[in-house]
Amino acid sequence: MPRNTTLSRLLDAGAHLTADGALATELEARGCSLDDPLWSAKVLLEQPQLIRDVHRDYFDAGANVATTASYQATPLGFAQRGLSEEAALDLVRLSVRLADDARRGHLDRHPQAGPLLIAGSVGPYGAYLADGSEYRGDYVLDAEAFKDFHRPRIGALVEAGADFLACETLPSFAEAEALLALTAEFDVESWFSFSLRDGAHISDGTPLASVAELCGAEPRVMAVGVNCVPLHLVSPALAALGGAGSKPLVTYPNSGENYDAATKTWTPAGNAGTPVTQPAGLAAGADIWRELGARIVGGCCRTTPRDIAALAASTRVS
């Protein structure tokens, strides 16, 4: 597997990286129905080549990081489809191979491109519940239960050769603690990104300052930040994280809308019909976010290769 370098080496060298954008949005644009508890992981079962094609499009757009289709790919989730744990973990490993196939193809066409990295996506327990819990953090498990849930998938991602882990859309401080222990157990680099209640707190109400302190104590965490949040929350969240820690920051917000997990619909950002002031898109906000310490910027739900291309045009890699 062609690994140009590690995430830590790039960040230590001062690089600013462009992450990819939404996977599910692009799969739906290709005709996939994702109204399913497995969400994009469903496509690993049905049309995995489409996932490879989306990764290819993001690399072509200028992304340096491809995030695997394993956010909702867990043994418990696949068990509901009758798959054994080993069959489920084969699909997790497949998610890495698909990203690597896209990387290899891009490097064949563009030998001077790179560095290109593969982030093994580790979604929260709330994503498995498929009820919007990753935006509330209102589930309670003890530390060992969290580890038991996440350990098999992390092991498969590491075994398959993911360059680092993207522990993402985390709503729970307790779950983050368990995941930090697993990154140490597997001795793997990572970034940790959180969902938000507001610009100062993650979804379970923990202050972002506490999150920065937690992640700051783990040397395998290369960056900490927020994802799948509306654009107007990025700057206050990054300011809170940067003010309480020294890690590089990562952000990959959604397109600027609010997601209603109950109705599975998107509405304009704001409350009771009152819009908020926010950047016009990823590229428009990127300079401010970088000034606040963001070294990795990408997109989450409802962002596209076009958004990533505009973002990449303003991003440098050392």
Report the interhelical angle of 305-312 vs 48-61 (nearest 10°): 30
With a CB cutoff of 8 Å and minimum separation 6, the contacts of 153 are: 70, 73, 74, 75, 89, 92, 122
Mean predicted lDDT score pLDDT of the chain: 92
pLDDT tens for 136-190 read 999 999 999 999 999 999 999 999 999 999 999 999 999 999 999 999 999 999 9
Residue 59 near residue 102 (C-beta atoms within 8 A): yes
| Average pLDDT for 70-99 | 95
Q: How many CB atoms lie within 10 A of CB 111?
A: 8
Other beta carbons within 10 angstroms of residue 53's beta carbon come to: 17
- Residue 277 Cα distances to 55, 268, 274, 281, 299, angstroms: 32, 11, 10, 12, 19
Q: Any bridge partners for residue 120, and if so which? A: 165
Residue 253 burial class via C-beta count within 10 angstroms: exposed 0-12, middle 13-18, buried 19 and up: buried
Quick one: tokens of 107?
């490097």
Tokens in use for 52? 């490879």
> Hunting for tokens 């093994």 — which residue is that?
120
Distant-in-sequence contacts of 29-38, Cβ < 8 A, 24+ apart? 30/54, 35/264, 37/72, 37/77, 37/80, 37/130, 38/72, 38/73, 38/77, 38/78, 38/81, 38/130
Which position has the higher pLDDT, 129 or 267? 129
Whether residue 217 contacts residue 247, with contact meaning beta carbons closer than 8 Å, is answered with no
If 0-12 CB within 10 Å is exposed, 13-18 middle and 19+ buried, where does residue 2 land? exposed
Q: What is the pLDDT of residue 183?
A: 97
What are the sequence ranges of the domains in the chain? 7-312
- Look-up of token digits 């990104």: 193
Tell whether the model's pLDDT for residue 6 goes beyond 90: yes
* Whether the predicted model's global pTM rises above the 0.75 cut: yes
Tokens 């890699």 map to which residue? Answer: 317
Given pLDDT bands bounded at 50, 70 and 90, which one contains residue 198? very high
pLDDT tens digits, 260-316: 666 667 677 666 566 677 787 999 999 999 999 999 999 999 999 999 999 999 875
- Count CB-CB contacts under 10 A for residue 72: 24
Just give the CATH number of 7-312. Answer: 3.20.20.330
> Torsions phi, psi of 306, nearest 5?
-65, -40
Return d(Cα 277, Cα 285) in angstroms, integer.
12
Task: Give the three-state DSSP class for 124.
Answer: coil
Residue 318 has pLDDT above 50, yes or no: no
**pLDDT at position 87 over 60:** yes
Residue 93 has pLDDT above 60, yes or no: yes
Cα–Cα distance between 2 and 141 in angstroms, integer?
38
Distance of alpha carbon 236 from alpha carbon 205, whole angstroms: 15
